[in-house]
Chain A
Amino acid sequence: MPNELNKPEYNIPPGMEGTVAITTLDRIYNWGRRYSVWPMFFGLACCAIEMIATAGARFDMARFGMEIMRPSPRQCDLMIVSGTVTKKMLPQVVRLYNQMPEPKYVLSMGACASGGGPFKRGYNVVAGIDKYIPVDVYVPGCPPTPQALLFGLMKIQEKIDNQSIKHVSWYQDQQDEGIPVPVLGPDLIDLRDFPKLMEKEQDKEVQA
């Protein structure tokens, strides 16, 4: 492992290779994070079954340091949105996302989570989780094969590799307040859009 960490400019004296590494803070910080991603044990629909299959013996997520799946958002740093997000479930999903501590990543697994999939036109379906929470990696498929999911996870690792302590949002002064939890009214209401909605209602009245 130290060889992977070493900055190539520094020569490690013979005999100490493989035990000593000279590296940057960013590198060792990201190296530690990339091999200990804890995904959330959080299944929404059919895609979740393939996610479990990925954790199974044949595909084995553990090879990437990701086998610990925790049901509590407080302990997780990766949310795999595995399946159709319905309007009824969305407030919960957003709440879970808000409860995850930084650094956190979101992987949208499957057609449904990425854009509504086959159920896009349904009255209770959110056509894409990215309308509400920021997504880092999309994995297409219905359901994506375990191989595809593994590839998506590797992309997350790549993303982690390229982050720098200097710029990452969770060390900035300004703290993120989280995403307002949508409300279930006569239909789903995104509070960020609320003024727009009221405008529309007023327009209707004016027309009438």
Chain B
Amino acid sequence: MNDQTTVMNKNYQKILERFPHDVQVDEREGYSGLLIEANQLLSIMETLRDEYEYDFLTSVTGVDYLPDEKMEVVYHLFKSTGGSILEVKVQVPRSNPVVPSLVGLYPGASFQEREAWDLLGIRFEGHPNLTRILMWEGFAGHPLRKDWIETFFEGDVKPYEDRWPEGKVSKVETTNPYGKNITYPDGFNPETWIPDSEDLLFQGSTVVKVEQEETGIETEQLVVNLGPQHPSTHGVFRMVATLEGETVLDLEPVMGYLHRNHEKIGERNTFSMNMPYTDRLDYFCSMSNNFGYALTVEKLLGEKYQPPERAQYIRVIMAELTRILNHFMAIGFFLNDLGAYFTPALYAIKERELILDIFEAVAGSRMMCNYYRFGGVVRDLPGGIEEQIRKLVYDRLPRQTDEMDRYLVENEIVIGRSQDVGILTPEQAIAFSAVGPVLRASGVPYDIRRADPYSIYDRFDFDVAVRYHGDVYDRFLIRFDEIRQSIRILQQAIDDLPEGEILANKPAYKFRIPKGESYGRVEGPKGELGYYVVSDGTDNPWRYHVRAPSFINLTGLREMCLGEKVADLVAILGSIDIVLGEVDR
């Protein structure tokens, strides 16, 4: 910890000397990072990017400090060559929160700034398309503001008062279906009401005639709407594509159809109540979601809550099994998208079931494991499970991976459909803040397990998978590479698994978390999964933000699809591997 802080301070020192007037060290209790004046943000960020090599802007979010009448925008940056996070903040008055947009410098900020505008009402000046992204245009208010309350508001923080004070159930939503917290504009008529900016999206398929400049031939452009109910969108995702013939001219991803208000609910919950909610982010990978959240809160809790050895190993084993499961499913569904309807997916589901058996045995639930705790895991491995895992990782999984590989990798149709399609160059990948397999398939060997090791990943021997073409085929292949590396880690972990305690502290329901902020990240199967948590010293987080890899990976989707054929859209989306629970949260 201390080493890191000194390295950090050295870095700060240089920047502080450069900008003596506009940069300060954040000295609030429990906070770190740099505070920058809003009007200098662009030039300082440019220096950070070009001279200090902080080329990767991973997370942008806001915090509403209601008591101080301030809005804060928090940026997390790192170097794509490795190293820890640099945190930069900008504070603006709450009455008029305007911050310059970073989209020009880091295009990857685009969706995240829109999200901050949508949920917190922070305006990013210079953003090319600052519209709502998770809620719909026309929704009243910015829900993550601390003074915004839901229609059926019960209390600021959980646990709520008894819901049945007189022993009778009473539900507000049945007696008063519109609550009391929304106001409708005068003369509001729902039958005629369409908010302006969604016009085009609501129109569905439209034909626009365009005259080609060179030839004078009139061609038709067609706006096609894929989703939200569409078999290839992996859930409720929507793409509005402008086509000419079969070529994609423009593409607008639309999301929010599964926005379940994870963060607002998370800020009403106590810290430990959030653990089962993280399961439901990326619902394939509940174990690694737990992992990230546990690490983040443990950072706030301090040394005393460092998990014991055995728990560390169990955590790694579960997280790596999750990665294998996820990649199998990603491969299966990707083949679905290519048109190999369901058969490869059935093979994938078969392996998934075997891994789920293990999860069910250790955690009690197949999908929603809720297994990690602050300071360890909730219960020890039951008898016989170690043997079962050993069999899987030494025998079954390597064999099945080779089998899938044999059937699919050399397949002519797979190659024909995916090679040289949807290319993302390394520069683009970094600029669009792509993470995980998408980033590594573009030739950037960045893996948090290596670049900024957490837990006990520094003890294992494994290679960071990397591929260099950045096309759909490479994104498909890299998942095989990663499965193989995960199997290597698992073999080492299961061999070294020590005996001992599994929880650093007594099991507890409530934790008093010291004041401060913390950003924790893990290399989830889909990429960097980060949690930004602010504690004000009470039982409930003041701010709880999830940096969702599949959400941010979608920022580059448009770029990958331009100029491709419409059938490739589906393949490209499949190769990114998104899960809507995480995209929309």
CA distance A197 to B179 in the complex (A): 10
- Asked if B580 CB lies within 8 Å of chain A CBs, one says yes
Q: Nearest residue in B to A194 (C-beta to C-beta)? A: B190
CA distance A162 to B177 in the complex (A): 35
Per-position 1/0 for B176-188, Cβ under 8 A of A: 1111001111001
Q: Nearest residue in A to B227 (C-beta to C-beta)? A: A92
Pairwise interchain contact A122-B257, C-beta atoms closer than 8 A = no
Pairwise interchain contact B177-A196, C-beta atoms closer than 8 A = yes
Per-position 1/0 for A104-132, Cβ under 8 A of B: 00000000000000110111110100000
- Asked if B572 CB lies within 8 Å of chain A CBs, one says no
Pairwise interchain contact A124-B135, C-beta atoms closer than 8 A = yes
- Asked if A49 CB lies within 8 Å of chain B CBs, one says yes
Given known A44-B236, A56-B353, A88-B136, contact A71–B184 (CB-CB < 8 A): no
Which A residues lie within 8 Å of B581 (CB)?
Answer: 45-46
Per-position 1/0 for B268-285, Cβ under 8 A of A: 100000001100100110
Q: Nearest residue in B to A46 (C-beta to C-beta)? A: B283
The answer, among B184, B235, B276, B349, for a CB contact under 8 Å with A118, is: B276
Which B residues lie within 8 Å of A124 (CB)?
Answer: 134-135, 143, 256, 259-261
CA distance A135 to B138 in the complex (A): 30
Per-position 1/0 for A46-74, Cβ under 8 A of B: 10111011011110000000000001000
Which A residues lie within 8 Å of B342 (CB)?
Answer: 55
Q: How far is the CB of A206 from chain B (nearest CB, A)?
A: 15
Pairwise interchain contact B190-A125, C-beta atoms closer than 8 A = no
- Asked if B139 CB lies within 8 Å of chain A CBs, one says yes
- Asked if A142 CB lies within 8 Å of chain B CBs, one says yes
The answer, among A57, A186, A193, A200, for a CB contact under 8 Å with B185, is: A186
The answer, among B152, B185, B258, B264, for a CB contact under 8 Å with A89, is: B258
Q: Nearest residue in B to A193 (C-beta to C-beta)? A: B177
Q: How far is the CB of B241 from chain A (nearest CB, A)?
A: 18
- Asked if B366 CB lies within 8 Å of chain A CBs, one says yes
Which A residues lie within 8 Å of B177 (CB)?
Answer: 190, 193, 196-197
- Asked if A86 CB lies within 8 Å of chain B CBs, one says yes
Counting chain B CB atoms within 10 Å of each CB, which of A41, A200, A204 scores highest? A200
Which A residues lie within 8 Å of B104 (CB)?
Answer: none
Which B residues lie within 8 Å of A191 (CB)?
Answer: 190-191
Range class of the A interface residue count: 35 or more
Counting chain B CB atoms within 10 Å of each CB, which of A71, A127, A185 scores highest? A185
Q: How far is the CB of B495 from chain A (nearest CB, A)?
A: 29
* Contact residues, A193-207 vs B (CB, 8 A): 193-194, 196-197, 200-201, 204
- Asked if B407 CB lies within 8 Å of chain A CBs, one says no
Per-position 1/0 for A169-208, Cβ under 8 A of B: 0000000000000011111011101101100110010000
CA distance A205 to B246 in the complex (A): 54
Counting chain A CB atoms within 10 Å of each CB, which of B136, B190, B284, B581 scores highest? B190
The answer, among A96, A127, A185, for a CB contact under 8 Å with B190, is: A185
Pairwise interchain contact B229-A121, C-beta atoms closer than 8 A = no
Number of A-B contacts (CB under 8 A): 146
Q: Nearest residue in A to B181 (C-beta to C-beta)? A: A187
- Asked if B140 CB lies within 8 Å of chain A CBs, one says yes
Which A residues lie within 8 Å of B135 (CB)?
Answer: 88, 124
- Asked if A157 CB lies within 8 Å of chain B CBs, one says no
Range class of the B interface residue count: 35 or more
Which A residues lie within 8 Å of B268 (CB)?
Answer: 121
Pairwise interchain contact A196-B178, C-beta atoms closer than 8 A = yes
Given known A186-B138, A187-B139, A201-B184, contact A58–B350 (CB-CB < 8 A): yes
Which A residues lie within 8 Å of B185 (CB)?
Answer: 186
CA distance A125 to B229 in the complex (A): 18
Pairwise interchain contact A49-B367, C-beta atoms closer than 8 A = yes
Q: How far is the CB of B143 from chain A (nearest CB, A)?
A: 5
Q: How far is the CB of A183 from chain B (nearest CB, A)?
A: 4
Pairwise interchain contact B139-A119, C-beta atoms closer than 8 A = no
Given known A89-B258, A122-B265, contact A187–B152 (CB-CB < 8 A): no
CA distance A194 to B407 in the complex (A): 57
Q: Nearest residue in A to B368 (C-beta to C-beta)? A: A142
Given known A183-B190, A183-B193, A185-B184, contact A84–B260 (CB-CB < 8 A): yes
* Contact residues, A24-51 vs B (CB, 8 A): 41-46, 48-50
CA distance A200 to B230 in the complex (A): 38
CA distance A164 to B211 in the complex (A): 60
CA distance A83 to B259 in the complex (A): 12
- Asked if B219 CB lies within 8 Å of chain A CBs, one says no
- Asked if B173 CB lies within 8 Å of chain A CBs, one says yes
Pairwise interchain contact B284-A49, C-beta atoms closer than 8 A = yes
The answer, among B261, B284, B345, for a CB contact under 8 Å with A122, is: B261
Pairwise interchain contact B265-A119, C-beta atoms closer than 8 A = yes
Per-position 1/0 for A135-154, Cβ under 8 A of B: 00000001101000000000
Q: How far is the CB of B461 from chain A (nearest CB, A)?
A: 33
Pairwise interchain contact B193-A46, C-beta atoms closer than 8 A = no
* Contact residues, B154-178 vs A (CB, 8 A): 154, 173, 176-178
Pairwise interchain contact A53-B178, C-beta atoms closer than 8 A = no
Given known A184-B138, A194-B190, contact A122–B236 (CB-CB < 8 A): no
Pairwise interchain contact A71-B230, C-beta atoms closer than 8 A = yes
Counting chain B CB atoms within 10 Å of each CB, which of A143, A186, A194 scores highest? A186
Pairwise interchain contact B136-A197, C-beta atoms closer than 8 A = no
Q: How far is the CB of B141 from chain A (nearest CB, A)?
A: 8
Q: Which residues of B contact A (CB under 8 A)?
A: 134-136, 138-140, 143, 150-152, 154, 173, 176-179, 182-185, 188, 190-191, 193, 228-231, 235-236, 256-261, 264-265, 268, 276-277, 280, 283-284, 342, 345-346, 349-350, 352-353, 366-368, 580-581
For this complex, 19 residue pairs linking A to B, each with C-beta atoms less than 8 Å apart, are A53-B352, A56-B350, A84-B260, A86-B260, A89-B258, A119-B265, A121-B150, A122-B150, A124-B260, A185-B138, A186-B138, A187-B151, A187-B178, A189-B190, A191-B190, A194-B190, A196-B177, A197-B177, A200-B176
Q: Which residues of A contact B (CB under 8 A)?
A: 41-46, 48-50, 52-53, 55-58, 71, 83-84, 86, 88-89, 92, 96, 118-119, 121-125, 127, 142-143, 145, 183-187, 189-191, 193-194, 196-197, 200-201, 204
Known pairs A45-B283, A118-B280, A197-B177; list 13 more (Cβ under 8 Å).
A44-B235, A45-B580, A49-B367, A53-B352, A83-B258, A86-B259, A88-B257, A121-B154, A123-B151, A184-B138, A186-B188, A189-B190, A193-B177
**5 nearest interchain CB pairs?**
A122-B261, A46-B283, A186-B140, A56-B349, A71-B231
